[in-house]
Chain A
């Protein structure tokens, strides 16, 4: 009965662009209604009505036409929207299916593309997890990003915690900080018998857990009433609960001993709880304290923490706290600089900069990977021109083709992203293994949901970025032109060729920038290792010990002699002294000179003091430049009773001598421990009289430094004999033995001298040296690795482009050879195009690098950011690799058999 049906096979509607547009639907309805009215009129007229009457009657019977039209329009719009979504999904399914078939057909292309992207995305994800962990969300607590600790900074950049009066004043007046908490970490305690308990513990205010935004895993935290007078209640760490109580809930109500006291366990802290921004081991026992620190027996200064209001920034808080501090009479004249520091602010500029540079580097690496895959896709798109042309001829829109291309590239990128997470996992292991001591907490860096979200985002973004090139090229082409110009071996069209050349030049340039950066860091590293240190760290082993508390003070001299005896008898040991490594001295007390002619003393606050025995310099490998060693016989009876007082005769290093007595004569001058700006005597240890006599400088020793980037920074050092009853003693030995066992040997020897001695882990000079070099090595190793990957990718990309063009020009080359062209000329032809790209890339890269390496300045030592040697060497290497990458395919051109090539015509 009807001839034409609307029941079309699937896909035909799309093929013929019979979209469900609202206009079409409304036209259909119009036709249907017109037909209806006509039939009605015909029928009425057949019943004998006049034409005009019949029309009027038909319209009347139809009803409200206006209302009907409005209703139909609404419906048509609704339907078209619905169909648009359905079609979009149908198209997507079709595109994905098509893309997967394409990938199956070209497995090697797919594998190379996915691997390249996995490298780029993996490196990016790994570094992002570092950035996320260190710079974005360094504290693993719900309120982590709003936690600050107010620090006072003096003119020398020395940071100290705020005292209790200041914290109380802040709490009173602040509008930027929601709440305050305080914590004191205590790493060991000594009981009346001199036994040392190494259980790390902490005192916290009741506001501590709420401030972090965490709750006890079991039981409760502390109440404000328990702060002062301190209630004998405690929380134990989750880890201790698991280890010692097997995670049983009946732990609540049990007793725990600490510091001569017994506490009742009322709660279990959440897993992993530690004092924020502290590098100390996580406390195992938590007991209460009050914010003003009253009743805190420990002499440690509490760290104060503030929770920023949601609408306040750390900078705003710093300004406000500064203003409040300046208004207090007792702090006003000191004019300290207050900063509300977040965890990430504790990283040095250099550490932050290394992370930023690495992040930028992996960004560059990812772009290179993108460019490479874009090139692969462009080459493939050229090979698929016929297929694309046929699809255009059959009615596929350009947008549809572009979308198909984009679907393919996003799918590739997602596959690369998934594999990239595996790459990131492995890369992170390497990063964690290489981590410098300053970035110790990198050990717990992990791939968390935020990091996964990041890799998903960059995967899709890269898919779109590199997919754009072939999509644009595919979309821009007219089907007719393609079909008309179609020959057996198309060259991909000038636009596509140009795009590929530009991409390659950018790749080469970018890898050159990365390599120059890496090269500068390598040079810095070499320079650092050559730096004269002023002492010989190789062969030194150092450890600090606690010989016991006040109760065993009388025994300390004997214990010390016993330790020295044991150490001397160790095999391979050539020297034993009391003292730290030169850079590990005791900081905290300054020096002041006797008033000079103008009646003013010279004061220096930021210096470090090494307590030692006279043979220290010889063991460390230092030498006196003037004067003599301090004489142990000059000891006074009063001094012998002290623990942290300077000996009657001391030695200073050259830099300190120069600062205190610029006229050059330090020997015989008198100094004493600084009275501080406000004229107070340094606090005496509990139970002792303040003691701060004038002491005489008898010698000047050479300067020492650490092999860090701040090597030019001069240390100010005081060397004093260690008082005989000084119970916290460092020991230094020089040994001919090497290897990891020397530290254990030293620790065991000391422990065997007296069982009461607590020995800290020993540190060998080699490890110390390595740790000092670690931050530079860390940045250098990673940047070099990324730069080399970048260069390899760029070389592979260049190889691909040249090889492809040789392949495309087989016929041309065949004709040339057949006509008698010199093979070398043919090779030069091919090589020439590669060299042009290489040179353009090197020039562009060198220009970019000249600007970009300036950000490295704070990470360099002994070499400038524009170091010409580095630029020349890297330029030659990159150029060489690029030429090699085009030489290989150029040789293929020579093997073209003219007959073969011509037959293809």
Chain B
């Protein structure tokens, strides 16, 4: 199915979130730290976009959330990957790799 640019961007972020949560369940702030560390803050993703991605994935059943207690002793929502999310991560990763290969191919030859 063809995608529009918006899908592509959301897809990228969702992929990062899925990847992060595949390591361990984490809350929203922990997730943003995780992505910042892994990408050396190159992407500088707005926190609101991150939360939207989380909620989107939650609605899609790719992740589930549970209330827990955070480092500062506050109630915080912890997100973890569901079986469906794991499957989505695999297929989306493959799609992403093909996509990158395709775009790179164009950029390098042109």
Which residues of chain A have a CB within 8 Å of any CB of chain B?
1-7, 28-29, 31-33, 35-36, 38-40, 42, 61-65, 67-68, 71-72, 75, 79
Could you tell me if A2 and B29 are in contact, using CB atoms closer than 8 angstroms?
Answer: no
Q: Taking A32-B76, A64-B48 as contacts, is the C-beta distance between A75 and B55 under 8 angstroms?
A: yes
Residues of B within 8 A of A36 (CB): 27-29, 32, 47, 51
A33→B75 CA distance, assembly (Å): 11
Pairs A–B under 8 Å by Cβ, sample size 28: A1-B69, A2-B68, A2-B78, A3-B68, A4-B67, A5-B67, A6-B65, A7-B66, A31-B75, A33-B51, A35-B27, A35-B70, A35-B72, A35-B74, A35-B76, A36-B51, A38-B72, A38-B74, A39-B71, A40-B29, A61-B44, A61-B47, A63-B47, A63-B48, A63-B49, A64-B48, A68-B48, A72-B55
Q: In chain B between 51 and 71, which residues have their CB closer than 8 angstroms to a CB of chain A? A: 51-52, 55, 59, 65-71
B69 pairs with A6, CB closer than 8 A: no
Chain B residue at smallest Cβ distance from A38: B72
With both chains docked as a complex, state the minimum distance between the C-beta of B72 and any C-beta of chain A, in angstroms: 6
The answer for the CA separation of A866 and B71 in the assembled complex, in Å, is: 90
B residues with CB within 8 A of A: 27-29, 32, 44, 46-49, 51-52, 55, 59, 65-72, 74-78
Quote the shortest CB–CB distance from A35 to chain B (angstroms): 5
Task: Determine whether the beta carbon of A39 is less than 8 Å from that of B51.
Answer: no
Partner of B66, one of A5, A32, A33, A71: A5
Q: What are the residues of chain A within 8 A of B74 when measuring CB–CB?
A: 35, 38
Complex CA–CA separation, A61 to B32 (angstroms): 10
Majority-rule SS of A interface residues: helix
| A569 CA / B48 CA spacing, docked (Å) | 112
- Also in contact, A39 and B55, with CB within 8 A (given A32-B77, A61-B47): no
Residues in chain B near residue A42, CB distance under 8 A: 72
The residue in chain B whose Cβ has the minimal distance to the Cβ of A75 is B55
Chain B's closest residue to A40 (CB) is: B29
- Excluding A36-B28, A63-B46, A64-B46, 16 further A-B contacts by CB distance (< 8 Å) are A3-B68, A5-B66, A6-B67, A29-B51, A31-B75, A32-B51, A32-B77, A35-B75, A38-B74, A39-B70, A40-B47, A61-B46, A61-B47, A63-B48, A68-B52, A75-B59
Beyond A5-B66, A42-B72, is A65–B29 a contact (Cβ under 8 Å)?
A: no
Cβ distance B21 to chain A, nearest Cβ, rounded Å: 16
Residues in A with CB closer than 8 Å to B44 are: 61
Find out whether the CB atom of A3 lies under 8 angstroms from the CB atom of B69.
yes
B76 and A62 contact, CB distance less than 8 A: no
* Complex interface: chain A residues within 8 A of B67 (CB): 2, 4-6
Residue in B closest to A63 when the chains form the complex, CB atoms: B46
Q: Which residues of B contact A68 (CB under 8 A)?
A: 48, 51-52
Q: Which residues of A contact B66 (CB under 8 A)?
A: 2, 5-7
Chain B residue nearest to A3 (CB atoms) is: B69
Of all chain B residues, the one with the shortest Cβ separation from A43 is B33
Interfacial chain A residues near B28, Cβ < 8 Å: 32, 36
The residue on B at minimum CB distance from A61 is: B47
Expressed in whole angstroms, the minimum distance between the Cβ of B3 and any Cβ of chain A is 21
CA distance A72 to B78 in the complex (A): 18
Whether A39 contacts B72 by the Cβ 8 Å rule is yes
- Chain B residues, Cβ within 8 Å of A31: 75
Name the A residues within 8 Å of B70 (CB-CB). 35, 39
In the assembled complex, the Cα of A32 lies from the Cα of B65 at a distance in Å of 12
Complex CA–CA separation, A2 to B45 (angstroms): 28
Instruction: Output the least CB separation between A675 and chain B (Å).
Output: 90
Bound CA–CA A59/B65 (angstroms): 24
Q: Which chain B residues lie closer than 8 Å to A6 at the CB level?
A: 65-67
Interchain nearest-CB distance for A68 vs B (Å) = 4
Residue of A3, A29, A62 touching B46 (CB-CB under 8 A): A62
Nearest A residue to B64 via CB reads A7
Q: How far is the CB of A84 from chain B (nearest CB, A)?
A: 16
Taking a contact as CB atoms under 8 Å apart, the answer to whether A79 and B59 are in contact is: yes
User: Given the complex, which residues of A lie within 8 Å of B27, measured CB to CB?
Assistant: 32, 35-36
With the chains together, A72 CA to B28 CA distance in Å? Answer: 15
Contacts of B59 in A (CB 8 A): 75, 79
Instruction: Name the B residues within 8 Å of A35 (CB-CB).
Output: 27, 29, 70, 72, 74-76
Instruction: Give chain A residues whose Cβ lies under 8 Å from the Cβ of B49.
Output: 63
Q: Which residues of B contact A28 (CB under 8 A)?
A: 77
List chain A residues, Cβ under 8 A from B69.
Answer: 1-3
Give complex CA distance A63, B74 in Å. Answer: 23
Q: Are B46 and A71 in contact (CB under 8 A)?
A: no
* CB-CB nearest in chain A for B55: A75
The complex places the Cα of A36 from the Cα of B48 at a distance, in Å, of: 11
The answer for the CA separation of A29 and B54 in the assembled complex, in Å, is 12
Q: Which residues of A contact B55 (CB under 8 A)?
A: 72, 75
A7–chain B nearest beta-carbon distance, Å: 6
Residues in B whose Cβ lies below 8 Å from that of A72: 55
A67: nearest residue on chain B (CB-CB)?
B48
B29 in contact with A62 (CB, 8 Å): no
Knowing A5-B66, A6-B66, A72-B55, say if A65 contacts B48 (CB, 8 Å). yes
Chain A residues whose CB sits within 8 angstroms of the CB of B48 once the complex forms: 62-65, 67-68
The 3 closest A-B pairs by CB, nearest first: A2-B68, A63-B46, A63-B48
B68 touching A1 by the CB < 8 A rule?
A: yes
Tell me which of A35, A42, A79 has the highest count of chain B C-beta atoms within 10 A of its own C-beta.
A35
Chain A nearest CB from B9 CB (Å) reads 14
Smallest Cβ distance from B71 to chain A, in angstroms?
Answer: 7
**How far apart sit A238 and B48, CA to CA, in the bound complex (Å)?**
75
Report Cα–Cα, A40/B70, bound state, in Å. 13
When chains A and B are docked, how far (Å) is the Cα of A62 from the Cα of B47? 4
Q: Chain A residue with minimal CB distance to B68? A: A2
Complexed CA–CA distance, A71 and B50 (Å)? 13
Q: Which B residues are CB-close (under 8 A) to A79?
A: 59
Shortest A752–chain B CB gap in Å is: 89
Among residues of B, the one whose C-beta sits closest to the C-beta of A35 is B74
Q: Please indicate the chain B residues that have their CB under 8 angstroms from the CB of A3 in the complex.
A: 68-69
Nearest residue (CB) in A for B44 is A61
B-chain residues with CB within 8 Å of residue A64 when the two chains form the complex: 46, 48
How far is B51's CA from A29's CA once the two chains are assembled, in angstroms?
A: 9
Docked complex Cα distance between A166 and B38 (Å) = 96
- Are A39 and B29 in contact, CB atoms less than 8 angstroms apart? yes
Shortest CB-to-CB span from B33 to chain A, Å, is 8
Distance in angstroms between the alpha carbons of A72 and B48 in the assembled complex: 10
- The CA of A75 and the CA of B48, in the complex, are separated in Å by 14
C-alpha gap A7/B32 in the complex (Å)? 25
What distance in Å separates the Cβ of B53 from its nearest Cβ neighbour in chain A? 12
Bound CA span A747–B109, Å: 107
Q: How far is the CB of A717 from chain B (nearest CB, A)?
A: 89
> A39 — which chain B residues lie within 8 A by C-beta?
29, 70-72
Q: Which residues of B contact A40 (CB under 8 A)?
A: 29, 47
A32 to B66, CA, bound (A): 12
Q: CB-CB < 8 A to B75: which residues of A? A: 31, 35
On chain B, the residues within 8 Å of A63 by CB distance are 46-49
**How many Å lie between the Cα of A40 and that of B47 in the bound state?**
10
Q: How far is the CB of B20 from chain A (nearest CB, A)?
A: 15
The minimal Cβ–Cβ distance linking B67 to chain A, given in whole angstroms, is 5
Give Cα distance in the complex from A40 to B76, angstroms: 14
CB distance from A103 to the nearest CB of B (A): 37
Instruction: Compute how far the CA of A40 lies from the CA of B74 in the bound complex, rounded to whole angstroms.
Output: 14
A59 nearest in chain B by CB position = B47
A324 to chain B, nearest CB (A): 66
**How far apart are the CA atoms of A71 and B51 in the complex, in Å?**
11
Shortest Cβ distance from residue A898 to the other chain B in the assembled complex, whole angstroms: 63
State the CA gap A5–B29 with chains docked (Å).
19
A61–B51 CA distance with the chains assembled, in angstroms = 12
Q: Which residues does chain B contribute within 8 Å of A4, judged by CB atoms? A: 67
Please measure, in the bound complex, the distance between the C-alpha atom of A402 and the C-alpha atom of B76, giving whole angstroms: 39
Cα–Cα distance between A1 and B71 once the two chains are bound (Å): 10
Q: Which of B27, B49, B51 has the most CB of A within 10 A?
A: B51
CA distance A6 to B67 in the complex (A): 6
Q: How far is the CA of A42 from the CA of B70 in the complex (A)?
A: 13
What is the CB-to-nearest-CB distance from A773 to chain B, in angstroms, rounded to a whole number?
Answer: 74
User: Taking CB as reference atom, which chain B residue is nearest A71?
Assistant: B52
Nearest-neighbour CB distance to chain A for B60, whole angstroms, equals 12
